Amino acid sequence: MVHVVLAGVDGERMEMEADAMQTIHELKLRVAQRCPVPAECQRLVLDTAVLGDSEQLAKHIPDGDETLTLTLVVSFDEVQRSLAKGDKAARISSLRALARVGSTRGGAEASIELIGACVGDPDPSVRRTATQVLLQVAGRGHAGAVKSVCAHLKSGDAVVRAAGVLALPQVAERGDQDAVAALCARLEDRDPEVRRLALAMLPALAALGDSVAAAAVTARLKDPSPDVRWAVVEALPRVLGKGDPRGLAAVQEHLASADLGTKVRAVQMLPLVAEQGSPEALAVLLDCVHDESYLVVVHALEVLPQLAMPGDPRAVAAARALLQESGASGHVQRAARRALELIAA
């Protein structure tokens, strides 16, 4: 047996008994059980020589001595190689190693930089792990973590930009103006999916009523992508606040569509963007009650009790008129009867 003394560069010491035939790698595994530095981040140094993993302790025990004194140095070299060239499993393992060493004194900053670079990894499972580990090590609002994620927003690869968009609200504090500006810039991205994701993530990052976010979102009302335009409608009440006239204007844009599905979805969005009792929103909805498509009419009647105040005479009159209309379909009459019951209650 040999008495092993490990001295850290920060002055901390660790002592243990070990079999002289143990390898350096086996010793590292034992060390990793007692401290947060994983084996792949350890370098064991004797005098000035870095010991190889396959070497046995017996080779380095001084003659007539039963004590081996080594210096434990934290190194990121092996982890960096794995993150750059390893397969998916190796990259995930290295990220988890960084999560451990990131909790050590002086290990956080280097870990954050390496982890942040992996937020844009080509593999989605590696990206998810990197984002989780980054938040674990850095915590929300860490300037270095936010900077590393923002760097991905400028990548030439749309997948990497999208990964940055998804990660930014998780690592940045809500209301961080630099982060909000970086995410708003992606609303102009050449890739429609990146624009859509940025719209979906922006309400989680921007404070309610944020003028920069509001201007950026409303500027996309005429986006060429229908999916992006819908993302605008869904984002507006969460960015502007319910009741802002720009939200109603966005819905009206979609109500003018010739596509039936778009009109139905726009009707369903009305109570999300307008306050109950809003005369402007109610007027828009009552126009939908007279639409030529019975599907639009049915959905408008379903929404009517959410938007009209109880007993509102215009809403009551519209529902009664449809209930009494001889040519109305059974679907419309049932919806009108239900709306009337709820409004008149």
Q: What is the mean pLDDT of residues 219-246?
A: 88
Looking at the chain, the whole-number percentage of residues with pLDDT higher than 90 is 68
Q: What are the structure tokens assigned to 172, written together?
A: 């940045």
Which pLDDT band holds residue 243 (cuts at 50, 70, 90)?
confident
**Residue 272, both tokens:** 């999300």
68 burial (CB, 10 Å; 0-12 / 13-18 / 19+) is: buried
* Residue 9: pLDDT band with limits 50, 70, 90: low
Are 291 and 320 a contacting pair, CB within 8 Å?
no
Per-residue pLDDT averaged across 14-28, rounded? Answer: 93
- What is the chain's alpha carbon radius of gyration, rounded to the nearest angstrom? 31
Dist CA 221 CA 279 (whole Å): 23
- As a whole number of angstroms, the distance between CA 89 and CA 73 comes to 25
Q: What is the pLDDT of residues 44-66, one digit of tens each?
A: 999 889 999 999 998 988 777 78
The mean predicted confidence, pLDDT, of the chain is 91
What are the chain's domains?
2-75 (3.10.20.90), 242-345 (1.25.10.10)
CA atoms within 13 A on the CB side of 333: 8
Quick one: average pLDDT of 209-223? 88
Q: How confident is the model at residue 345 (pLDDT cuts 50, 70, 90)?
A: low
Angle, alpha carbons 98-92-77 (nearest 5°): 45
Q: Round to whole Å and give the CA distance between 166 and 174.
A: 14
Q: How far is Cα 218 from Cα 221, in angstroms, rounded to an integer?
A: 6
> pTM for this structure?
0.74
- The tokens describing 291, both together, are 């639409």
SS (HEC) of 203-257: HHHCCCCCHHHHHHHHCCCCCCCHHHHHHHHHHHHHHHCCCCHHHHHHHHHHHCC
| Structure confidence at residue 247 (pLDDT) | 85
Per-residue model confidence (pLDDT) at position 10: 65
Minimum mean pLDDT among 45-54, 156-165, 166-175, 228-237: which range?
A: 228-237
